[in-house]
Structure 1
Amino acid sequence: MKHIVRALKVSFVLMLVMSLVIACSSNSQSGNTDGASSDTGNQGGKAEKVTLRVMLAKDPTKDLYFDWMSENMKLFKEKNPHIEFDVTANASGDQYLTVVTTEMAANNVPDIVQGWTLERMRPFVESGRLLDLREAIESDPEWKGFLQEEPLKATTFDGGIYGIPSTLDSEIIYYNKDVFEKYNLQEPQTYEDFLNIVKTLKENGIIPMTVPNKDSWTGTIPYMMIAERIGGLEAYQNIVMDHKEPWTSEPLIQAANTLQELVELGAFEKDVNSVHTSESEAKLAEGKAGMFAMGTWRIPSLYENLGDKLGIFNFPDIAGGKGSKDHYLIIPNVSLSIAKETKHKEEAIAFLKFAFSQERQEALAKLGFLTTTKVKTNKEEVNPIAVELQESLANSTGSMYPWDVPLGAFMGAELNNATQILYMGKDPKEVFGDLQKKQDNQKK
């Protein structure tokens, strides 16, 4: 993964510029637009009945991505009446990772499975659980041309492509414009501006930033942002990606101290480690919280609740730091894969082609998700927050992956557990010393 920061800086920016141009273009058709490729040989209803097992994450609150996938299956079945779907969707977040990992270990992989990219996907590839999609993609030039190359690199291992990322996700800070306006606050350009927002909102009985850290990965979002602003992308590269420097390196300890100072200021809920995502969304929408740290996959539901009151910004610069507010956390995400041992390879591939067609990708983009395909839409039909984010990302000067994904399932979870403990006030040197020991033991 050497030089990955430089590669990310160039490739993601180019990809986002392309996405922005596409989002502003007319609604012309491209790719597999009519779903014709989804016809799997049904001849007047005489085709053999097939049931595709599908495993998806399902947020217990409103989940527009799940709704989009459900509609994909409904529409696909209308075109292919001989195909049924048996859907498992009873978990989300870390719980879903546990469910998927258990099924993979038992070699009980559904025909189609929603998963991750990078090191989160690698164990499933190396254990021979996922189908290499390269032949299917290469054999259909029109479909191949519709898929963007850069996102596929996050699901490519030893030349094989083991999934298609369906969203391009970033982790950012949302804010309630009405709350900011009421207290004469602006999007922060510096850390001092940010501290002023925290203090002003706290003094007026508003939660400055809600962080639903019941799922421990969420609390890592502010921490990663602070750490990058202090140590820059170089620290991220050396510590997280290349393991050239220990977790106890000064930028990470300084970032942990800064995070704990925010905790002491009352920047987050007192019970931050027991707050759920749905609670945070409600607090932001109701004006009980001014800001909300979360990923862009929540744009659709947040915009539905707040409309034009919803604003976004990236964490500001910290004086003396090596990072930048123009550096973003960003990753190709929510990959759809096919089981290597599926008995219905043709039908499963046909479904992926339908899900990644102009018709269905346009529907996904209109919901507010950033897509990984060359979908064409009218700018006026796309969620305005998604358009604003695309413009910001297209002007970024650097990016990094959310750390837990390239670290893999084990160390990624340990990192998130470590940052969760930081919110409880434990000594950062001790916390990251323990994390370093776990990384060292994993290498043995």
Structure 2
Amino acid sequence: MKGTFKKAAALALAAIGMLGAMSTVSAEEEITLNLAHIYVNESDGQAIGFKRALDAYKEAHPNVTVVEDTADNDAYKTKLKTQLAAGSVPDVFCAWGGGFTAPFVDAGIVANLDAYVENGTINMDAMMPGICNNFYYNDSLYGLPLDSFIGVLMCNQELFDTYGVTVPTTMEEMYAAAEVFIENGITPIAMGEKDKWPGLFPFGVIALRYGGVETTTALLNGEGNFDQEFVVQSAQELQKMVELGIFADDSVALTNDEAIEEFKQGRAAMWYSGNWQVGDLSTNSPLAGKLTLVNWPAIDGAAGDQNAFVGGASACLVVSESSEHKDAAVELAAFMSQYFSDYAYEEGAILPTWKYEGEMELQPFQERLLELMNSADGFCLAWDTLLDPEPADVHSTSLQGIYAKQMTADDYISAMVATR
């Protein structure tokens, strides 16, 4: 990595100058801001990036004491909802776009950020185009992006070469490759569905193949019901994959971490998830030098977008409407959003949400991810992110039922239709 010290110094000077100029809080005024977040795994690239960003903020704002309140993802969501219901709202806290944050907006808990865009506290021109699309409610901005991701089909090229199998570009090729791997005792695609959320990724991208980004997004935002043809086709395709053994029979008994280990040790040929662990798999695992990264295969004859991705910006920082230091809280959120984008990107943990102007020399996997992202037909977040909480829970639970062979595609459709 070149230019690290030079970049760090430049960023610190820029932060002091930029944020000092637009700050509405006196540099002499001692204040405390509460920051709630999920970045607790010290070895994770996102957590490392978040800590680097927070350290830079503290250096640039010696008068501000930041008190952190942390928990890992699922525990954090439960804890946050309990806190907010009790009226205990952190000044700045992690949230997610779509249905997760909508109730907080409706309840007036989180701050409308439009005025801060207008006065320059938030510089939208410095962000990636459209990166905040999932954080608008009633045409107003309520969140600032943390991560940006795309769903990537990661293939163990060594296994593909060993068995003379081609990395699939169509679902027909996927089924053909899976047959060869199954015959040789290898799971085609690792899956840790005990955690529920991993199984949402294949369904989400299959829906983009059958329905496309625009149609899928419209459905998730409340237009129509779930008995539309593309949803039925997607559920049937997933059920077919499960029945043919594309995923291991014990996938619902495996956590995501356990599924990753299956993939790392060569007991599974592919793994499909967000790009956040591509860096670690590409550099610090038995798969280093063996990974081929592609989009999910196209479906011949399907009417949707064949090169769309599950992805976009999901996690965000929001600001409490009732914060005693709301201006300073917005500045903290804007600082963390931008610097987390730079630092977590340099750690190989995310794709940037702000325009990256550093001097880091990109690794091959980073170049490949940007190539995939820049060539995409469009993006749509996982369904549980955009849906309201009740249908999101029914969606994830019902899909888990399909993976467990305890529910059919028809059962899934019936359960989802009942949510509207």
Q: Do these two structures clear the TM 0.5 threshold for a shared fold by scoring above it?
A: yes
Structure 2: stretches of 5+ with no match in the other structure: 1-6
Number of equivalent positions: 406
SS of match in other structure, 1:330: strand
Q: Distance in 1 between the 2:79 and 2:305 partners?
A: 37
Please give the residue correspondences for 1:193-342 in structure 2 after superposition, counting only pairs within 5 Å. Answer: 193-233=173-213, 236=216, 239-244=219-224, 246-305=225-284, 306-342=287-323
Q: Is the 8 A contact 1:38 1:353 kept in 2?
A: no
1:419 Cα offset (Å): 0.9
Structure 1: stretches of 5+ with no match in the other structure: 1-26
Task: Please name the residue that 2:3 is paired with.
Answer: none
1:240 Cα offset (Å): 3.8
Q: Is the 8 A contact 2:193 2:403 kept in 1?
A: no
SS of match in other structure, 1:263: helix
Q: Distance in 1 between the 2:206 and 2:379 partners?
A: 14
1:344 Cα offset (Å): 2.6
Change (3 A) 1:53 1:286: same
Q: Is the 8 A contact 1:32 1:354 kept in 2?
A: no
Q: With structure 2 as the length reference, what TM-score do the two structures score?
A: 0.86
Q: Deviations over 1:317-376 (max 9, x none)?
A: 22332234312222222111111111232432332343244x654323222221121221
Please give the residue correspondences for 1:357-396 in structure 2 after superposition, counting only pairs within 5 Å. Answer: 357=338, 361-368=341-348, 369-378=350-359, 381-396=361-376
Write the letter of the residue equivalent to 1:179: L
SS of match in other structure, 2:226: coil
Write the letter of the residue equivalent to 1:427: T
Q: With structure 1 as the length reference, what TM-score do the two structures score?
A: 0.82
Q: Distance in 2 between the 1:125 and 1:178 partners?
A: 49
Q: Distance in 2 between the 1:417 and 1:74 partners?
A: 39
Q: Distance in 1 between the 2:335 and 2:82 partners?
A: 28
Q: Distance in 2 between the 1:320 and 1:124 partners?
A: 41
Please give the residue correspondences for 1:30-49 in structure 2 after superposition, counting only pairs within 5 Å. Answer: 34-36=14-16, 37-39=18-20, 47-49=28-30
Identity across matched positions, percent: 23
1:149 Cα offset (Å): 5.1
Q: Distance in 2 between the 1:312 and 1:323 partners?
A: 22
Write the letter of the residue equivalent to 2:79: V
Write the letter of the residue equivalent to 2:311: I
SS of match in other structure, 1:307: coil
Q: Deviations over 1:373-403 (max 9, x none)?
A: 122134x623432321222232223443322
Write the letter of the residue equivalent to 1:330: G
SS of match in other structure, 2:355: coil
Q: Deviations over 1:242-274 (max 9, x none)?
A: 532x42344333332332232222221222123
Q: Is the 8 A contact 1:30 1:376 kept in 2?
A: no
Change (3 A) 1:83 1:229: same
Q: Is the 8 A contact 2:144 2:334 kept in 1?
A: no
Write the letter of the residue equivalent to 1:314: N
Q: Distance in 2 between the 1:128 and 1:424 partners?
A: 40
Task: Please name the residue that 1:166 is paired with.
Answer: 146
SS of match in other structure, 2:32: strand
SS of match in other structure, 2:242: helix
Change (3 A) 1:365 1:238: closer
RMSD: 2.9
Q: Deviations over 1:390-436 (max 9, x none)?
A: 22232223443322222122212211111111112223212321221
State yes or no: 1:418 paired with 2:375: no
